[in-house]
Amino acid sequence: MEALPDRFDKIEILAETELNRALKMMVDIYPEAANSYHHDIADAINIWIMEKGDKNIADYIVNKLPLIAEDGNIKVVLREWANKLSSKSQMEGSVG
């Protein structure tokens, strides 16, 4: 398997053309990054998700949560992302 930093670099490049797909891939690798010494990647994923994520990503997180997070702390982070993205989408929808 390809090393996490190399996979993350490719996902960031993918984000330039396929943002939603790349964000979903970041959600998928977040547990691995958070549970390893790659805290810089985990932090970068957090920034990507919070800055670029939307309701679609929130829904993806909610649907994938039982499958991708065994660690209780990771589940807390993922739920927080989903809640914040859902709130962000509702706020953006009501502006105008």
Distance (Å, whole) CA 17 – CA 21? 9
Residue 81 lies in domain? 4-94
* Total of domains in the chain: 1
- Report how far residue 45's alpha carbon sits from residue 30's, in angstroms, rounded to the nearest whole number: 7
Q: What is the pLDDT along the chain (96 residues), one digit of tens a residue?
A: 799 999 999 999 999 999 999 999 999 999 999 999 899 999 999 999 999 999 999 999 999 888 876 778 898 999 999 999 998 867 766 544
